[in-house]
Structure 1
Amino acid sequence: MVGLSVVDIKEFMAAMLTGNMFDKFYLRDGEIQTFTEFHLGGYLNRPYFDSEEWEALEGRELCLWSEVRPFAFQLIRGHKLPVRFKFVFQLSDANTRWLLDKYHPPVKLEDIGGLFMNIRYEHQKVICTSGISYNTFVMDKTLEQCWDDTVCQYFRQNHIACEKI
């Protein structure tokens, strides 16, 4: 697990809310607190979709950030900053397979519950924490190190200055 403190909050907020930095990540969970608290559950609601729409989702259970971002933007934008927010982003299945193919850690795809980035804004600070959920007990920490390095590299590639905490 790595913790990153975002240096330029305004730049990060623009990348997250109006850019496409997290668009290909699943949103696992979200909370935004302004004048009240809003909860954004990331799981898709099957009864909402007709059979054709559901089939087009190809078995996906979670929404993409790109599908939720406009709603989050509406809740956060304005003259006042939110009191706090928290988003739990999960690496997509395709990108999880890519990461496994790139680094070859001794872990099978079915052993992984998810690779996460927890983004939290509170007290005028944005903190990103990486994390992994496993479906089984895993002693080897190779994947965790690879994921931590990938998260740091991802922020650098998107020109988001961070300090490790």
Structure 2
Amino acid sequence: MISIPITEVKLFMNHLLCRSTFDAFCVPELSLSTFASFHMDGHILKDYYTKEEYETLYKDRTPIARWKQLRPVCFELIRGNHTPLSFSIVLQLSSRAVESFLSETDTSFTVSDINGLFLNLRYKDSRLNAVTGTSLNIFSMDKSLEHAWDQKIQKFILSLES
């Protein structure tokens, strides 16, 4: 786990709210404080859909809302004359993206070993930080996955700032 201060906040927020840069990430939860506090649980409510709709939409993917679905809602809550007081957005790599990530890293972990690879965005007092996180389904002293994830996110954030 590392914390990366975002130096180009305006540019990063443009990527987050106006571009598709983060759209593939799942969003298990987020909190946003503007004129009021908003909390969202991104876990999909199965009962909202018919059985057929749910199976079509979520058969092969994690039943968590994608940033693509929540981005317009968050944009509406954030836009205006005032910057937010704070926000916390938990972004999680999708199951398919975890498979892809594992194939490009030198680690012995499998998809079933991994509960989640996370990018936590925290904004408060005009400062924005990105904090990486990993969660395993197994106990391991091996930190290769964590280090690989940290490096990937560092490169990803650097690419956004250039």
Q: Same fold (TM over 0.5)?
A: yes
| 2:5 paired residue number | 5
| 1:154 paired residue number | 156
The two structures, once aligned, show a CA RMSD in angstroms of 1.1
TM-score, normalization: structure 1? 0.93
| 1:31 paired residue number | 31
Over 3 Å off, 4+ runs: none
Secondary structure of 1:57's counterpart equals helix
- Cα separation, 2, equivalents of 1:160 and 1:126: 13
Structure 2, gaps ≥5 residues long: none
| 2:125 paired residue number | 123
Aligned residues: 160
Higher relative contact order (CA 8 A, sep 6+): 1
CA contact (8 A) 1:44 1:63 kept: yes
Q: Identity of aligned pairs, percent?
A: 32
| 2:113 paired residue number | 111
- Cα separation, 2, equivalents of 1:23 and 1:65: 5
2:34 corresponds to 1:40 = no
TM-score, normalization: structure 2? 0.94
Alpha-carbon offset, residue 123 of structure 1:
0.5
CA contact (8 A) 1:106 1:140 kept: no
State the Cα deviation string for residues 49-94 of structure 1 (Å, max 9, x = none).
1223211223331011001100011111100011100000000111
Alpha-carbon offset, residue 104 of structure 1:
3.3
Structure 1, gaps ≥5 residues long: none
- Cα separation, 2, equivalents of 1:71 and 1:93: 24
